[in-house]
């Protein structure tokens, strides 16, 4: 038997033997095998899954035919032809149970507030209603009052009557926005995810929920909203002065820390419990530059920070706009001080401590925490992790439900 060109010739007897072997193998496959519920030589009749079942995760499984619907074998006259014809099989639908998913992590949202009596109530109600409807896990909203002189505490207590998930942590003395968040992060051991937003409602609840979803999916240890990335939705942008100072501050932070984050000051961040607990002792800045301290500590500790575009609205009545120069100067001094702390020049700061405190007091800004205060805060965090939040020792202080 001659083969195609450039191939050697195969003996005729060997070619015929190989062809006969192939026919016998196909014949045995067509007859079928003995299975439970299937007589010897009876053909198999699987059932084909519908396309919708495939999309739902079902699998096409080969099963023997039912006893009451066997396939009719061909007549003896056509037996030779039937041996060499393929058998059409029908897969039977078998729905696999999906694996048990992990429980939805608990979420803790911190809202620092300073004299927010006029604006905080609709924000609390919107957040509480949204997460009650769309979040299956346990969630809490804690308002950290930073030396409020108005009735912000009364407003929070009124909202808490309708939404038990809302509570307040009141500090009578001003401790700054960063100080309020540092105190709020002591509660990180009580939740799986912890985040914070501003009290003016610049970040809507659904946008903050997207950050929590990404952090829950373990794509990052901390998810940060950004107003400067492509895809961000700005319903009302800042004034050109605010935008100019914001970009200047970004250049300063990038030149000092090289974090490659476009918007460090966006008031919408969510992080995992492990990350918040590990970096809590390194948080010292109590003013508006707290976000830089937080992100730089996460980077130094080796945690992954993910920045995504978010939805944001510039609210009228911002306290930053009313005192822009003083706030900007305070933030500049804080980031320079943070850079010196993580440098060989750290011992010099001990001698400059009186001057440092005088500058912050002159600017009416919260003084950064000392090493003694950090040690006391660490002891308080250990108490929260083992026994839960401590009861307030001062009237009006502590967690109020």
CA angle, 134 then 137 then 140, to 5°: 90
Split at pLDDT 50, 70, 90, the class of 256 is very high
**Is the pLDDT confidence value at 298 over 50?**
yes
**Is the pLDDT confidence value at 12 over 50?**
yes
Chain centroid to CA 187: 18
Give the per-residue pLDDT at 78: 55
Give the per-residue pLDDT at 104: 87
* Digit-coded pLDDT (tens) for 148-193: 999 999 999 999 999 999 999 999 988 899 999 999 999 999 999 9
**Is the pLDDT confidence value at 18 over 70?**
no
What domains lie within the chain, and their CATH numbers? 12-94 (no CATH), 107-400 (3.90.550.10)
Give the per-residue pLDDT at 367: 75
| C-beta neighbour count of 211 within 10 angstroms | 25
* Digit-coded pLDDT (tens) for 350-371: 777 777 777 788 777 777 776 6
* Digit-coded pLDDT (tens) for 213-251: 999 877 899 999 999 999 999 887 778 888 899 999 999
Percent of the chain surpassing pLDDT 70? 65
Mean pLDDT over all residues of the chain? 78
Whether 285 and 178 have beta carbons less than 8 Å apart is answered as yes
**Is the pLDDT confidence value at 3 over 70?**
no
Of 84-93, 101-110, 157-166, 237-246, the range with the lowest mean pLDDT is 84-93
Give the per-residue pLDDT at 32: 53
Residues 6+ apart with CB under 8 A from 257: 292, 296, 299, 335, 339
**Is the pLDDT confidence value at 57 over 50?**
no
**Is the pLDDT confidence value at 99 over 90?**
no
CB-based burial label for 306 (10 Å; 0-12, 13-18, 19+) = middle
Give the per-residue pLDDT at 97: 46
* Predicted model pTM: 0.68
Whether 325 and 218 have beta carbons less than 8 Å apart is answered as no
Give the per-residue pLDDT at 309: 95
Give the per-residue pLDDT at 240: 85
Rounded Cα distance between 116 and 199, Å, is: 7
**Is the pLDDT confidence value at 133 over 80?**
yes
* Digit-coded pLDDT (tens) for 301-328: 999 999 999 999 888 767 676 678 888 9
């Amino acid at each position: 038997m001659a083969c195609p060109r450039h191939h050697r010739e195969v003996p005729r007897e060997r070619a015929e033997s190989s062809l006969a072997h192939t026919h016998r193998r196909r014949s045995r496959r067509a007859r079928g095998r003995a299975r439970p519920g299937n007589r010897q030589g009876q053909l198999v009749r699987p059932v084909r899954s519908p396309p919708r079942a495939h999309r739902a995760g079902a699998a096409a499984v080969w099963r023997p035919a039912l006893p009451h619907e066997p396939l009719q074998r061909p007549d003896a006259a056509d037996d030779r032809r039937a041996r060499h014809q393929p058998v059409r099989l029908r897969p039977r639908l078998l729905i696999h149970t999906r694996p048990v998913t992990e429980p939805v992590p608990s979420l803790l949202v911190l809202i620092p507030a300073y004299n927010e009596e006029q604006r905080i109530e609709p924000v609390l109600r919107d957040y509480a209603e949204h997460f009650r409807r769309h979040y299956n896990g346990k969630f809490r909203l804690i308002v950290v009052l930073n030396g409020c002189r108005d009735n912000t505490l009364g407003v929070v207590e009124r909202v808490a009557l309708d939404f038990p998930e809302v509570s307040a942590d009141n500090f009578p003395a001003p401790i700054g926005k960063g100080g309020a968040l540092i105190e709020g992060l002591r509660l990180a051991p009580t939740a799986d995810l912890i985040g914070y937003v501003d009290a003016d409602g610049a970040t809507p609840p659904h946008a903050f929920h997207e950050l929590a979803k990404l952090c829950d999916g373990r794509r990052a240890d901390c998810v940060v909203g950004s107003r400067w990335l492509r895809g961000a939705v700005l319903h009302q942008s800042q004034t050109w002065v605010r935008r100019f100072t914001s970009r200047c501050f970004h250049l300063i932070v990038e030149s000092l820390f090289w974090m490659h984050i476009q918007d460090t000051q966006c008031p919408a961040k969510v992080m995992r419990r492990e990350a918040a607990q590990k970096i809590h002792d390194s948080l010292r800045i109590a003013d508006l530059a707290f976000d830089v301290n937080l992100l730089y500590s996460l980077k130094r500790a080796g945690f992954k920070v993910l920045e995504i575009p978010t939805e944001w609205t510039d609210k009228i009545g911002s306290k930053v706009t009313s005192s822009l120069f003083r706030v900007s100067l305070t933030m500049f001094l804080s980031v320079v001080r943070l850079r010196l702390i993580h440098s060989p020049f750290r011992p010099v700061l001990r001698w400059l401590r009186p001057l440092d405190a005088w500058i912050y007091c002159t600017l009416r800004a919260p003084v950064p925490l000392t090493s003694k205060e950090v040690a006391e805060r660490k002891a308080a965090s250990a108490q929260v992790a083992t026994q839960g939040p401590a009861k307030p020792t001062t009237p009006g202080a502590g967690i109020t439900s």
